[in-house]
Chains A and B, each alone.
Chain A
Amino acid sequence: MNVPAIQVLSVSRSFGPLEVLREISLEIRKGEFLAIVGPSGCGKTTLLNLLSGFDKPTSGAIVREGQIRMVYQQDGLFPWQTVGKNIALGLRDVRSQSDRVQQVQELLQLIRLADFENHYPHQLSGGMRQRVELARALAGSSDILLMDEPFSSLDYLTRLRLRQELSRILKERPRTAVLVTHDIEEAAQLADRVVVLSESPAQVRQEVRIAAPRPRDPTQAAVVRAMQLILTELNIEPDARQYAGARSNERE
């Protein structure tokens, strides 16, 4: 588990005079779930585009091991194709037709949408669509899952449900996962490690490790603690210790 899947070696990215990322170094290990959080507009998506190879760094290098798949914010599915066809897009490397059909069935079972193979995306709810996106990205021999705020367009309850789904699915089909999000709770609940980026130009401000085993509950102590640390890093929580103190006072 200690083999790096992605190595980010002091990567900077500028768009003309605008410096978005400065000297970012990261190592994402195989099977690890990493979340990247930061203030909005700080360059999280830029970093993800560099990780996926869609964009090239201005300086520095990125070393990847394995096939990368991206899950987009919303509406990344082809609306003119059925759920089954959309998932089959991730199985283009599978030669045999019967293998493809069978794997689509397995993935539909995995995301619990077995009855929706012939539906079109616009006939599904937002949460169902994101599950199909996930299935497409997991299909075939993908190794690394990059997720760009995959649940941000969903309502809170659906988001909670999809977090559970994601944890369950990753348990069945382990992948190296990188999640970019502005939802601190989501990051703390799902990730092994949360990287907090600073305001633009983004630098790695802090790394928060969450040792508690996955899947977790959003109200679990380790998750709440991690959220406090992240919020403090983002200057939203004045001081995590104060907060902890306030809580112990309450108890008295």
Chain B
Amino acid sequence: MLAVATLVATWYSVWLSGIFHASAFPAPLEVARGFVEEARSGRLWTDLVTSLFRVTCGFLLAVLTGVPIGLWMGQKSWARTSFLPVVNFFRNLSPLAWIPFAILWFGVGDASATFLIFLSVFFPVVLATMAAVANIPAVYSRVAHDYGMGDVEKLIGVTLPAIMPQIIITLRVAAGVAWLVVVAAEMIAGRDGLGFAVMDSRNGLRTDLLVVAMIVIGLTGVAIDTALVQLTKIPSVRWGYDR
């Protein structure tokens, strides 16, 4: 609370000092009015829901495909040696570089933003899953064998829980990246969403609305992370963080 008050106070005093021209630096009160305006018109919520929807789709798609591929690569060393360079290449390629192709292939809208989020989450998830699987202590596999677990049972009862703490950390990082990417994607390849709201405010010279969009983006990012942190509190994954 104190930090927020300090932030607003600093903001207000910079505005009072007049270092920046009033048209380039909105006052806190203007932003608050802008917020009410945006909230009343309903546009803010539509943009928020649109962006969240894209992130959720791209994120889920990437996790549902990335985890199985990572499992496979982690267990087969030949798959690891042959595909790792490819995965590494794409992981180090900024998903933003795909924006032109995304627009060419999927047009402007949900599909291209979802595609970009997918790219930004898929490769890190594959790599993290792979590394986690390859690092499962051999003794777990022996124990599973000793007590007569079948392949499917071993996958669900041993492999997945053994990598879960690692996966959750990766999901947190990846969700953060996805939230950054969706804003950038919508700024360039969107007609709605929070990223588009940023661009639209700029084009309309509405710096107050720009700040409104920025605040919502930041707060939503924090909310997503807070939600994912809850996963680390599940009793059956605590062992991965407590020691």
In the complex, identify which listed stretch (B40-48, B54-62, B119-127, B141-149) lies at the interface while the others stay far away: B141-149
A76 touches B139 (CB 8 A): yes
Whether B147 lies near A54 (C-beta < 8 A) is no
The 8 A CB mask of A189-222 against B (1 = contact, 0 = none) is 0000000000000000000000000000000000
Closest A residue to B236 by beta carbon equals: A80
In the complex, the chain A residue whose C-beta lies closest to that of B160 is A80
**Smallest beta-carbon distance A94→chain B, Å:** 12
Main secondary structure of the interface of A (DSSP, over half): loop
Determine the chain A residues whose CB is within 8 A of the CB of B161 once the complex forms.
78, 80-81
Given A80-B162, A90-B147, A122-B242, A70 and B142 contact (CB-CB distance below 8 Å): yes
A248–B237 Cα distance when bound, in Å, is: 59
Contact A72 B143, CB 8 Å, known A78-B161, A80-B161: yes
Q: Is residue B239 within 8 Å, beta carbon to beta carbon, of the partner chain? A: yes
- Which chain B residues numbered 207 to 243 have a C-beta less than 8 Å away from chain A? 235-240, 242-243
Expressed in whole angstroms, the Cα–Cα distance for A244 and B235 within the complex equals 56
In the complex, what's the smallest C-beta–C-beta distance from A188 to chain B, in angstroms?
A: 28
Q: Mark A95-123, 1 if CB is under 8 A from B, else 0.
A: 00000000000000000000000001111
Q: Is the CB of B145 within 8 A of A54?
A: yes
Q: Mark A63-97, 1 if CB is under 8 A from B, else 0.
A: 00000011010011011110000000110100000
A78 to B146, Cβ gap below 8 A? Answer: no
Chain B contacts with A in 161-213, Cβ cutoff 8 A: 161-162, 164
Residues in B with CB closer than 8 Å to A78 are 140, 143, 158, 161-162
B146 partner residues in chain A, CB cutoff 8 A: 52, 69-70
Q: With A75-B137, A122-B242, A122-B243 as given contacts, are A80 and B143 in contact (CB-CB < 8 Å)?
A: no
Given contacts A92-B148, A122-B239, contact A80 B137 (CB under 8 A): no
Q: How many A-B contacts at CB < 8 Å in the complex?
A: 45
B142 neighbours in A (Cβ, 8 Å): 54, 70, 72, 76
Closest to A140 in B: B147
**Size category, A interface:** 10 to 19
- Residues from chain A with a CB closer than 8 A to the CB of B239 are 79-80, 120-122
Min CB distance, A121 to chain B, in Å? Answer: 7
Taking the closest CB of chain A, its distance from the CB of B15, in whole angstroms, is 52
> Across the interface, do B238 and A120 meet the contact criterion of CB distance under 8 Å?
yes
Residues of B within 8 A of A120 (CB): 235-236, 238-239
Q: How far is the CB of A118 from chain B (nearest CB, A)?
A: 9
* CB closest chain-B residue, reference A90: B147
* Complexed CA–CA distance, A78 and B144 (Å): 10
CA distance A122 to B238 in the complex (A): 9
A89 to B140, CA, bound (A): 12
The CA-CA distance from A92 to B143 in the complex, in Å, is: 13
A79 vs B161: C-alpha distance in the bound complex, in angstroms?
9
Which residues does chain A contribute within 8 Å of B238, judged by CB atoms? 120, 122
The contact string, 1 if C-beta is below 8 Å from chain A, for chain B 52-86, is: 00000000000000000000000000000000000
A92 / chain B contacts, CB cutoff of 8 Å:
147-148
Residue among B147, B158, B162, B240 having the largest count of chain A Cβ atoms under 10 Å: B147
Chain B residues near A90: list those with CB within 8 A: 147
Residues of B within 8 Å of A76, CB to CB, are 139, 142-143
Task: Please give, as numbers and ranges, the residues of chain A lying within 8 Å of B243 by CB-CB distance.
Answer: 122
* Interface-central residue, A70, A75, A123, by most chain B CB under 10 Å: A70
In the bound complex, do residue A81 and residue B236 qualify as a contact, i.e. CB atoms below 8 Å apart?
yes
Closest to B240 in A: A79
> Do A80 and B148 contact each other (CB < 8 Å), given the known contacts A72-B142, A122-B243?
no
CB within 8 Å of A: which B97-147 residues = 137, 139-140, 142-143, 145-147
Q: What's the least CB distance linking B56 to chain A, in Å?
A: 27
Q: Which 7 residue pairs across A and B have the least CB separation, nearest first?
A: A79-B239, A80-B161, A80-B236, A122-B239, A76-B139, A89-B147, A72-B139
Residues of A within 8 A of B (CB): 52, 54, 69-70, 72, 75-76, 78-81, 89-90, 92, 120-123
| Other A-B pairs, 4, CB within 8 Å; known A78-B140, A79-B240, A80-B162 | A70-B143, A78-B143, A89-B143, A120-B238
